[in-house]
Structure 1
């Protein structure tokens, strides 16, 4: 799978593709980031309950510092991976019924110091590809590369740091229902 369509929630229950699905919610934005987080976690529990055909109260989401969030079902740990991302007025929850996942969304924007950021955080191959990209297409290409890297780091429960190399796994681009919003999922190699 190279891409995954994301739909707004509340809406029809998503049909997992290869165990993956994601929802996007509209949030109030602004300084109420905690409210957006609570709203997204509630939506994630609702959609996961609908997919698994269990009551929403049976779904728990556990967060511990330095670890990716995890899903518990009726109080028991599961292999289900979950990842969250927020950008201005939208929040995304991505779920992998079969293991680890990372997700990131971002509105496309022109970054004035994109060359230094790409070199320092995205690696030499991406920096060179961005250099060769026509200027009009560069903001979208940069944002796509950035969300792919952030999703990979989240999948591996790593913080943003200067480039240290590729991480094992697979990137999946998101098809989002909001113009100018781009994003990626990253699923980990369960053998890594």
Structure 2
């Protein structure tokens, strides 16, 4: 998979690439999930106001617990938004032109990885993971898990056990992150495929 840069916030103003924006925020250890959610939304609101040259009050984040995150921008069609949290890092992916999915996972030993892979990642991915060297498997498993979650998020689907009907199509990209964390972004399949480096 191609790798995409994650823009840290606060920091230099990030740039859009064909309507796609990726930002990340760091939190102090012990930060609650509720705080992390609030901070990434505040960061996204600030970035949107600056990069789109709009007022902060033109941006809102409707709350609907248990459902996908949403952002509304006055005068624009509702963009796709996906958010993920892992440890002290929160990330957000926004697509002005459609759906998007993003997911993070800490690289760590998963004792029952094979059972989890069979249940959630499918037989093909499980076979691939079985062939990976043991010392590299935690990284490979984390990336495969992120890919699965990000694909489901992009399709607006919850995490469910594997079946041929629960593997939506999509174009995937890894995030440029420290080796201790894996991250994947998924965009819908399209005729005019988005490619990194093309600006909005």
TM-score normalised by structure 1 residue count: 0.90
CA–CA separation in structure 1 for the residues paired with 2:76 and 2:161: 33
Structure 1 gap segments, 5+ residues each: none
1:92-171 matches, within 5 Å, as: 92-165=91-164, 166-171=167-172
Structure 2 gap segments, 5+ residues each: 192-200
Which SS does the other structure have where 1:130 is aligned? helix
Higher strand fraction: Structure 1 or Structure 2?
1
1:30-109 matches, within 5 Å, as: 30=30, 32-64=32-64, 67-74=67-74, 78-109=77-108
Contact persistence 1:4–1:21 (CA under 8 A): no
Q: After the TM superposition, which of the residue ranges 144-153 and 48-57 deviates more from structure 2?
A: 48-57
Q: How many residues align?
A: 189
Say what the alpha-carbon RMSD is for the aligned residues.
2.0
User: Which residue matches 1:4?
Assistant: 4
Contact persistence 2:31–2:88 (CA under 8 A): no
Task: Give CA-to-partner distance per residue, 1:114-152, whole Å, 9 cap, x none.
Answer: 111111100111000000011111100000000111111
- Does the alignment pair 1:28 with 2:28? yes
CA–CA separation in structure 2 for the residues paired with 1:28 and 1:190: 39
